[in-house]
A and B are shown apart, each in its own frame.
Chain A
Amino acid sequence: MSDPIIKIQNMNKWFGDFQVLKNINLEVEANKKIVVCGPSGSGKSTLIRCINRLEEHQEGDIIVDGNELSEKTKDIEKIRAEVGMVFQQFNLFPHLSILDNCTLAPIWVKKMPKKEAQELALDQLKKVQIDDQANKFPGQLSGGQQQRCAIARALCMQPKIMLFDEPTSALDPEMIKEVLDAMVSLAKGGMTMIVVTHEMGFAKEVADEVIFMDEGMIIEKADTKEFFANPKSDRTKLFLSQIL
């Protein structure tokens, strides 16, 4: 068993007086795909936002790729550059073209030469099949195309880990499939992924492990097959019965 790339130990987080995450313990090995599910307000998004420190945790340890995240962490940017993230609302930069969205960070954060960055970006855009839209602006694209561009943008930083925060929740049903397809092919390429989603079909297809969260706690964590076939806790059973 190899060393985990993400290690979370006894992590607690509060928003003011409200405890959003309670005693989280989680280890993710490289190349594993984890799906996090649970009702809304259960702290799923907060959990993965803590992994690249978009949210700060108050107690416990988070270790990403050998670096501990805390107030003392210097070069948090370097760690974030290793961790790609895709958001529910796409969060493309509306003032930049699709291509510039993808090349911005490689050029300015990784100091990649412009030409090389553009080639890389076109390559990534091709993988998600929107290379023909490269010179358009985000506002001119459909939701599905925008989300695929967001995936390509994150991949252009050549991250070791990809975090997905409900990537299909803001999409039309028709567009969900094109985004999921892009994610499935990314998963088959061997990327380490943590995906917060309600798409159980996706979970069954690619996930190695499924985590079920409720009220800020990890209720159940099991291999995918085990999770769907044989859920242990009653809360999980109830959730699955409602969602499937």
Chain B
Amino acid sequence: MQTINFLKPNRDNIKNYSIIGSVLILISLIDVISNSFLKTNLTSFLPGSLTTLFPLILGLIGLNMMRIDYSGNKKLDLLNKNINTNNFNALLTLLIIFSIIKALPPSLSWMILDANISGDSKDACTGTGACWTYIKVWFRRFMYGMYPNEFHWRINTAFILVIALGFVGYFMKENLKKYLALYYVIIYPVIAYLVIYYLISGGSFGLQWVETGAWGGLSLTFIVSFFCLIFCFPLGMIFALGRRSNLPAIKYISICYIEFWRGVPLITVLFMSSVMFPMFLPEDFFMDKLVRVIIAITLFEAAYCAEVIRGGLQSLPRGQYDAAKSLGMGYWKMHIFVILPQALKLVIPGIANTFLALVKDTPLIFVVGLAELAGMLALAKTNPKWLGFAMEGYIFASIIFWIICYAMSKYSYNLEAKYKTER
């Protein structure tokens, strides 16, 4: 006759234990779910605090009974290895699951079930949940800022053009591929600048002039991030190489540059660019505030890029330099064909990190009066007709930023996979 050892589950009694264990966990889950969704307390017959702890205790016992090493059951092994290695981990697992279940119904009902989206004024929001009407009404402002409504097509067209031009590299003929870097580093930014200048700013070709102060919302986020990203990378590369140069002048200029920009906060840089910088310019010289801000952020982020790229350069073995030199390559050929391709591949995660930080730093331009997405939110929430909807706005902005950043990080993973040549 088989004796069941209650203290030590093992392979022999796996069937009894795993079944009893799963039943216990199931009961604990049902208790929490009914408590959370149906607002009924199945264990009200228990005294006070035991009611709250009941599912936790039950779940712990259940998981304890299922903790069988090398059970032979793949799914059970996976469970035990990852979330059920000991009682403490089991407790954490249960706490996390229970908190999610507890938090789900209120957030669901706030965001969807009790929320309003119809109507076009604050009065439409009658429910206790979120007021998405607010986002709906303000949507164009969040996207385009104070840019006149009738000209929004100009922003859209400009963006479509810029994105389309960005894909040109994919369709380049094989014999033109060697100009790819030239295209992306110099030609593309210039064309993009011209497109944005003539279409969004206007002033010629019969398009009405719209000053940059009126630009805003997500489109401004894109414009600022776009130019900063494409300029800060090559600039960072130059300073990374400069810092490793054998020529003292170049080396120390690079070090000073990097250490200066890394040492000052972005917010002061932005203030300087918009308030102090124009004072040093000659009277008749005019530079748009947006351009100044883009230059400031570019210079700032280039210093970070430079250090990330330098990390990649330093991780290459000396043999790579030796081999390139021994084949008769000079400094530039060696770096362009041998060193940089390898170093840049290594720093993709670091560069992606810097770029994500850059995109998320753009809201700071609000301090100099440029209202991109987060800035528009800050303006909108103080509108007397729409007071009290900051929450909806920030959730909306978080989702948008998350989508942008997640897309970027996904893309960086793809790049890593694409250029992976090691075994």
A contact residues vs B (CB 8 Å cutoff): 49, 52, 54, 77-78, 80-85, 87, 89, 91-95, 104-105, 108-110, 137, 139-140, 150, 153-154, 157, 163
A94 and B325 form a contact (CB under 8 A): no
Q: Across the interface, do A139 and B323 meet the contact criterion of CB distance under 8 Å?
A: no
| Nearest CB in chain A to that of B316: its residue | A94
Q: Are B421 and A137 in contact (CB under 8 A)?
A: yes
B173 at the interface (CB under 8 A from A): no
Q: How far is the CB of A229 from chain B (nearest CB, A)?
A: 35
Question: Which of B41-49, B273-281, B333-341 binds A?
Answer: B333-341
The 8 Å CB contact of B329, one of A52, A54, A92, A105, is A105
Give Cα A108 to B328, complex, Å.
10
Which of A77, A92, A163 has the most chain B CB atoms inside 10 A of its CB?
Answer: A77
Q: How far, in angstroms, from A30 to B323 measured CA to CA in the complex?
A: 23
Q: How far is the CA of A49 from the CA of B319 in the complex (A)?
A: 12
What is the CA–CA distance of A52 and B326 in the complex, to the nearest angstrom? 7
CA distance A78 to B327 in the complex (A): 9
Q: Tell yes or no: B320 within 8 A of A by CB.
A: yes
Task: Check if A84 sits within 8 Å of B326, measured CB to CB.
Answer: yes
The reply to whether B421 and A85 form a contact with Cβ atoms under 8 Å apart is no
Residue pair B327, A153 in contact (C-beta under 8 Å): yes
Rounded to whole angstroms, the CA-CA distance of A82 and B326 in the bound complex is 9
> Which A residues are CB-close (under 8 A) to B39?
none
- Please count how many residues in chain B sit with their CB below 8 Å of the partner chain's CB atoms: 22
Assembled-state Cα–Cα distance A49/B328 (Å): 14
Contacts A77-B328, A95-B342; A108 near B333 (Cβ below 8 A):
yes
Q: In whole angstroms, how far apart are the Cα atoms of A126 and B330 in the complex?
A: 28
Does B419 make an interface contact (CB < 8 A)? yes
* Residue in B323, B327, B337, B342 whose beta carbon sits within 8 Å of that of A81 in the complex: B327
Task: Confirm or deny: B150 has a beta carbon within 8 angstroms of a beta carbon on chain A.
Answer: no
Known: A91-B322, A93-B338. A105 touches B327 (CB 8 A): yes
The answer to whether A105 touches B421, judged by C-beta atoms less than 8 angstroms apart, is no
Option from B327, B419, B423 in Cβ contact (under 8 Å) with A104: B327
A-B contact pairs, 5 of them (CB 8 A): A80-B326, A81-B328, A92-B323, A93-B320, A95-B341
List 7 additional contacts besides A81-B327, A153-B327, A154-B327; criterion CB under 8 Å: A80-B328, A89-B319, A91-B322, A93-B323, A108-B329, A109-B333, A110-B328
Chain A residues lying within 8 Å of B345, measured Cβ to Cβ, are 95
Return chain A residues, CB-CB under 8 Å to B283: none
Known: A93-B320, A108-B337. A139 touches B422 (CB 8 A): yes
Residue of A nearest to B344 (CB): A95
Query: Which of B320, B325, B330, B341 is A54 in contact with, Cβ under 8 Å?
Result: B325
Given A137-B421, A139-B422, A139-B423, CB of A91 within 8 Å of CB of B320: yes
A77 CA to B342 CA, complexed, in Å: 22
B residues in contact with A81, CB < 8 Å: 327-328
Contact status A94-B421, CB under 8 Å: yes
Which of chain A's residues has its CB closest to B421's CB? A137
**Contact indicator A109/B323 (Cβ below 8 Å):** no
Give per-residue flags for B326-366: 1 if the beta carbon is below 8 A from chain A beta carbons, else 0.
11111001000110011001000000000000000000000
A95 to B342, CA, bound (A): 6
Q: How far is the CA of A87 from the CA of B327 in the complex (A)?
A: 12
**B317 CB-CB contact with A under 8 Å:** yes
Cα(A105)–Cα(B334), bound, Å: 10
Report yes or no: B327 in contact with A80, Cβ–Cβ below 8 A.
yes
Identify which of B320, B326, B330, B338 contacts A85 (C-beta below 8 A): B326
Asked if A87 meets B322 with Cβ closer than 8 Å, knowing A81-B327, A104-B337, A105-B327, the reply is yes
| B317 touching A89, Cβ below 8 Å | yes
- Interchain CB contact (< 8 A) of A157 among B328, B337, B422: B328
Select one of B320, B324, B421 contacting A139, CB under 8 A.
B421
Across the two chains, which residue of chain B brings its CB closest to A110? B328
Q: Which residue of chain A lies nearest to B326 when distances are taken between CB atoms in the complex? A: A85
Provide the bound-state CA to CA distance between A108 and B333, in Å: 8
User: Complex Cα distance A153/B329, Å?
Assistant: 13
CA distance A172 to B419 in the complex (A): 29
In whole angstroms, what is the CA distance A104 to B333 when docked?
10
Contact present for B323 and A91 (CB under 8 Å): yes
- Residues of B contacting A83 with CB < 8 Å? 326
In the bound complex, residues from chain A placing their C-beta under 8 Å from that of B317 are: 89, 91
Q: Mark B398-423, 1 if CB is under 8 A from A, else 0.
A: 00000000000000000000010111
Q: Among B330, B337, B338, which residue has its beta carbon within 8 angstroms of that of A77?
A: B330
Chain B proximity of A179: nearest CB distance (Å): 17
The 7 closest A-B pairs by CB, nearest first: A81-B328, A91-B323, A105-B327, A91-B319, A85-B326, A139-B423, A139-B422
Q: How far is the CB of A77 from chain B (nearest CB, A)?
A: 5
CB–CB B326/A154 < 8 A:
yes
- The answer to whether residues A109 and B421 also contact, given A91-B322, A93-B338, A95-B345 and a CB cut-off of 8 A, is no
Q: Give bound CA distance, A83 to B327, whole Å.
A: 8
Is A109 a contact of B341 with CB atoms below 8 Å? no
Q: How far is the CB of B318 from chain A (nearest CB, A)?
A: 9
